[in-house]
């Protein structure tokens, strides 16, 4: 892979433990499975920004505000 200035980039892959629970009924961040919270926190670390909204489905009620 090459970036915009022509430098060769090497992708870094990470694996994370998943979860089997249905998240669509969860309305509170603390109620998410532990591995889901760890995944979101890792994304925050990598991106350098906080994630304040998590969607667990297509409906408005399925939005978790942190």
- d(CA 38, CA 3) in angstroms, rounded, equals 29
Residue 9's pLDDT is 87
Give the separation between CA 32 and CA 23, rounded to whole angstroms: 7
Encode the chain (66 residues) as per-residue pLDDT tens digits: 887 888 898 999 999 999 999 999 999 999 999 999 999 999 999 999 999 999 999 999 999 999
Cβ pair 8, 18 in contact under 8 A: no
53 neighbors 63 (Cβ within 8 angstroms):
yes
Predicted pLDDT at 3? 78
Q: Is the dihedral of CA 25, 29, 30, 32 positive or negative?
A: positive
pTM above 0.85, yes or no: no
Question: Could you tell me how many residues make up the chain?
Answer: 66
Residue 6's pLDDT is 85
């Amino acid at each position: 892979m090459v970036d915009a200035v022509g430098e060769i980039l090497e992708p870094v892959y990470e694996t994370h433990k998943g979860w089997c629970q249905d998240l669509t009924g969860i309305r509170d961040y603390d109620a998410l499975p532990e591995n889901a919270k760890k995944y979101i926190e890792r994304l925050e670390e990598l991106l350098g920004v906080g994630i304040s909204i998590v969607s667990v489905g297509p409906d408005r009620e399925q939005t978790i505000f942190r």
